[in-house]
Structure 1
């Protein structure tokens, strides 16, 4: 007997879809040639859905603690929100929008049996469920086109539309949602096999669209969840028949850099979550569209996920700052653009940073940045994904936070099992990461580079200025709410009432032990004249000490200080 379209079905769908994408991940990664041949579409889809599944489980746990059961609206809404928050890459961002489209229909009035979706009992059953799923799939397909700045046929967009068309044809005669889901799955499978004839880059490689493969796996899991029949049918990743354009392309040996992808293109992938109003996002789309390509902006209700490929990563982040508040910023360097370069760079750097300005600084230096939001440290899986996106045989990982040492170690261990040599540089602050990045030399031996970066970080004392949130005891005495705290090497050393004066005191204490270079990283709330006054203070009080200033944009502290 088919299962009802309810919260339990959504939960089952998440579990089955994760299993399916887990099985298919490496095969999908291997055929990833569009829009960038970076070999991570399967991984991005898996991680996006993993975030969605966690959100669904959290919804169930939350209701269980209250003695209730989640409804369909709760579950599908959590799935879409989790995907939006955790979306990875172009493919994951589109998947998040597809799930949001389904949510627009399935959560709008709960089920189609007359319930309102708010009391934990909503469910869509029988003919109503078939009709609800048909409309949800149609809305999902339309939503994916709305999210992409320049839709291209022969991609996941085409596969989503074919699935909706097949569901449309089946809905009239279907007696349950399972039959509609199965029809959508079969329609998607058929459309997927036609993609090499619709998109030249796929035809040359002799493979189907990677994002479309992921959608087929997702729809197969939905059909299994609703029918109760687990098929686990592998997704066909190659064209049914060799195409003329595919001559000379060794599909079996196909990787991200075999030259089957379109030559040229932007050098960076920029992704971030954005809190912004709808009208600001409209302007943002226009600006980002002029900066690069592969632009996908998804979300709504004040929260958006932005994905774009650009040459100027800093400009893409600045556009987000002008539109609202970007966070969880991830900048990945493609390795000089989409050209016939080696699939893996010899060595790369991955750095965790607290602000958009520092992320741009890392990108300019060729490093992959993982930007964190206050109170939301990255998980080891996020660092593993950043290491993968660096596309290097060797990676220097800069956690830049003592609290991340175990997380970084776990990520490094996982990456090593995948054949990547990783060194975790023990950076305890962003300014130590800047110092380590400054001496990074990929032409040196791995061990020599690790030692040099570790030495540079260790030779850099670090401090930060913060505002006390409440009265408390510190190493420097009792502070009151609103006091300015000067922390040196992690401990409160100075308590003051004025940011600039406290910063000067901190600098004097740090430089009393000597130093040749002061690094100032200004936070989002730093006064405009702060840097100039501190530079003048160092010049007047500490001869032969140079000062360099960066606009870090971090919200955790108005000022970070490094002394080398």
Structure 2
């Protein structure tokens, strides 16, 4: 067997029965579990991504689960040494909620919150797993069977069936085995999985999380036994270097909780189609029942508001409202007993403007944070990714469709908390790329990056939204939205996206003005060398202004192109970006 943090797999059949051991009320178990589950998801994220076809075939479920749990693990690792098990579970759940990514990550964060709520009330291990399953299911507007929800339900039912006298380890072992059986059966419960010939990615992720819990509980049992034997022999117990918080031995070499090889093999149909080929069926019919089409955007946001009786109705209200404008609606969180309530919301929608209005309405008595917009077809593209920060809600969808993960910093009719470095790092990881360009938030990289999950984060000077639009336009051939993962073979040396953007921005001049002065300004700014004009228009500009600008450009630079985009800002402001062709290199004498 191998160490749970070793990075290898095993063909062993999964968790085996052990004598009763410590449960999630033990801080050492919680710490070891968080560490082991995060390591397992990190190791298997690509394997899970490859079988991700529901609710959208965007190849990111493994990555989202890992990024979500990673936030919780970091918070647990930073918690005081004297923190109790229930307190650590609350820390784990809150950090996972705030850092949740994607549909699956948000559901996992609510599953963890259910554990924490039950632990705070002094529940048994079976109570915790039962409450976790119920919380996760209640967070989803339209639950689907054959998913992570089914695996959670199976785990809770098996935990209860273990009986009131069963210790924590037999209970979690039964729960993990039941989740594994549910994951194996998922293909028969969900048509889109049957079509693709795969098992549900979210259910596989939960199997890893529960397997890691078995490892942590088994390690606690083994550590306690070794300590007792050592004390009887007068040796003083295990070496201090092997002890986790709370005196529980850290799992090292007892077993490998990761057994996805067998599950993936069991889930594969002979001659099964590539999961990516199932994308059309995922965005059709029952997988997307409320109208989010193949061009849908993913919107996520964190809502903070006052605690109290009204907090109980916020999640239900948000679920109902978001379900009117999109699919894959999940809203998690609530009153955590700290004086404020926090929710994370997720939706796939073709109506970003309406979804943002819903978010703003929900934030009337609070604030929004981490307002994250992503085009579903742009996930996990290739080596390069882009994060763009903007306060223009009308541009968020355009930038996302051009391949960026967008952080919306304002303009939605509600208070949006200032971005912090962690927000940028999460967004960078969400691109699925190893190298990421950051547009629009240069100050956030200073001193950051301690936990960066990409190889390189490069800040591109971009003082205005025009810079972001022009940069993404220059990267159009490098960000092939909707194409399979992997940079297309363009021949020759690898393309330097940073250099491509730098060259495009070098020929850009941006002018800010009003609608009344825009025509005259363009008349002066454009000339024969102009190649492209980008016009960003606020909501109050006259309807005829785009045609007027196009007429001016046709006279000044007949071969030039004009791109007109709405910012969504109130008022009559106009930003004009004028690009000129780069000079031809001088020929050798």
TM-score by length of 1: 0.68
Tell me the secondary structure at the aligned position of residue 388 of structure 2.
Answer: strand
1:249 to 272, 277, 283: 272
| Higher relative contact order, structure no. (Cα contacts within 8 Å, ≥ 6 residues apart) | 2
**Is 2:322 the counterpart of 1:274?**
no
Residue deviations 1:143-187 (CA, integer Å, cap 9, x gap): 11101111111111111111111110113231x322211221122
Other-structure match for 1:35? 55
- Counterparts of 1:152-167 in structure 2, within 5 Å, are 152-167=144-159
Other-structure match for 2:552? none
- Counterparts of 1:215-230 in structure 2, within 5 Å, are 215-228=206-219, 230=254
Contact 1:213 1:235 in 2 (8 A): no
- Matches of 1:453 and 1:266 in 2, distance apart? 28
Other-structure match for 1:370? 407
- Matches of 1:172 and 1:279 in 2, distance apart? 34
Instruction: Give the Å deviation of 1:234.
Output: 2.7
Other-structure match for 1:44? 64
Specify whether residues 388 and 97 from structure 1 end up closer, same or farther in structure 2 by C-alpha distance, changes over 3 A only: same
**Is 2:91 the counterpart of 1:78?**
yes
**Is 2:117 the counterpart of 1:98?**
no
Other-structure match for 1:334? 376
Tell me the secondary structure at the aligned position of residue 414 of structure 1.
Answer: coil
- Matches of 1:11 and 1:173 in 2, distance apart? 25
**Is 2:173 the counterpart of 1:182?**
yes
Instruction: Give the Å deviation of 1:561.
Output: 7.3
Specify whether residues 449 and 193 from structure 1 end up closer, same or farther in structure 2 by C-alpha distance, changes over 3 A only: closer
Other-structure match for 2:129? 137
Contact 1:298 1:304 in 2 (8 A): yes
Specify whether residues 457 and 7 from structure 1 end up closer, same or farther in structure 2 by C-alpha distance, changes over 3 A only: same
Count of residue pairs brought into register by the alignment: 460
Instruction: Give the Å deviation of 1:462.
Output: 7.6
Please report the RMSD computed on the Cα atoms of aligned residues, expressed in angstroms: 4.6
Residue deviations 1:317-372 (CA, integer Å, cap 9, x gap): 232112214321222213399xxxxx958987542335645423423555431345
**Is 2:32 the counterpart of 1:12?**
yes
**Is 2:440 the counterpart of 1:400?**
yes
Other-structure match for 1:2? 21
Contact 2:378 2:401 in 1 (8 A): no
> Tell me, which stretches of 5 or more residues in structure 1 are unaligned?
113-130, 338-342, 417-421, 465-502, 523-527
- Counterparts of 1:416-455 in structure 2, within 5 Å, are 425-437=460-472, 441-442=476-477, 453-455=501-503
> Tell me, which stretches of 5 or more residues in structure 2 are unaligned?
1-19, 223-253, 285-292, 306-310, 336-340, 410-416, 480-489, 527-532, 550-554, 557-561, 579-589
- Matches of 1:563 and 1:437 in 2, distance apart? 14
- Matches of 1:519 and 1:97 in 2, distance apart? 43
Instruction: Give the Å deviation of 1:87.
Output: 0.4
Other-structure match for 1:124? none
Residue deviations 1:470-515 (CA, integer Å, cap 9, x gap): xxxxxxxxxxxxxxxxxxxxxxxxxxxxxxxxx99xx9xxx9xx85
Other-structure match for 1:385? 429
- Matches of 2:35 and 2:478 in 1, distance apart? 45
Contact 1:154 1:194 in 2 (8 A): yes
Tell me the secondary structure at the aligned position of residue 335 of structure 1.
Answer: helix
- Matches of 2:398 and 2:258 in 1, distance apart? 43
Contact 1:170 1:183 in 2 (8 A): yes
Contact 1:272 1:329 in 2 (8 A): yes
Residue deviations 1:202-222 (CA, integer Å, cap 9, x gap): 223332211111111111111
Tell me the secondary structure at the aligned position of residue 295 of structure 1.
Answer: strand
